[in-house]
Amino acid sequence: MIERFLHRLLFASRWLLLPFYLGLVIALALLAFKFVQKLIALFPDFIALDLESTIVVSLKLVDIALTGNLLLMVILAGYENFISRIETDTKEERPAWMGKVDFADLKMKLITSIVAISAIQLLEAFMHIEDTNKVDVAWLVGIHLTFVLSGLLLAVQDRIGGGKH
């Protein structure tokens, strides 16, 4: 009887993760607000922007969108993997990847998104290389390479461990 109680208690403890996922939903809403704010701020000056500045601003929007995608993926996959299955009204509402992303998949998607976001930050620094401190660029390159190396090592680890990546 004590063992059954402990099992139920341990299993129910998964709901303690709910505030984390709700916090991430709030972070996603705040990120969406920042995206719209940046987009609105772009309109008055858009005609006057040169191509390089337009690319940089577009990359910043892509950066925010990638971060939003990453948050949503962590929210949905994490909730489904660790708390409870999400039921939707129709199959068409449910993204194809939902229910198929396990912890290893989520880990690889996470590091891939981080590498992409880091690459955008690095490209932005390269677009303004004449105005950017060379030490800062070196740090950005080093951090980016660290993310890439981490991703490669995680992929190799999954491959060795029998994963499908």
Residue ranges of domains in the chain: 2-160
Neighbours of 14 (CB within 10 A): 13
pLDDT the model gives residue 56? 81
Please tell me the distance from the alpha carbon of residue 44 to that of residue 48, in angstroms, as a whole number.
9
pLDDT the model gives residue 163? 54
Write the pLDDT tens digit of every residue in 87-126: 877 777 777 777 777 777 888 888 888 898 899 888 888 8
Amino acid at 156: V
pLDDT the model gives residue 25? 97
pLDDT the model gives residue 23? 97
pLDDT the model gives residue 113? 86
Give the chain's radius of gyration (CA, Å): 20
Please tell me the distance from the alpha carbon of residue 68 to that of residue 158, in angstroms, as a whole number.
26
Write the pLDDT tens digit of every residue in 3-55: 999 999 999 999 999 999 999 999 999 999 999 998 998 888 888 888 888 88
Give the number of residues written for the chain. Answer: 165
Question: Is it the case that residue 164 has pLDDT exceeding 60?
Answer: no
How far, rounded to the nearest angstrom, does the alpha carbon of residue 121 sit from its chain's CA centroid? 14
Write the pLDDT tens digit of every residue in 127-162: 878 787 889 889 999 999 999 999 999 889 888 887
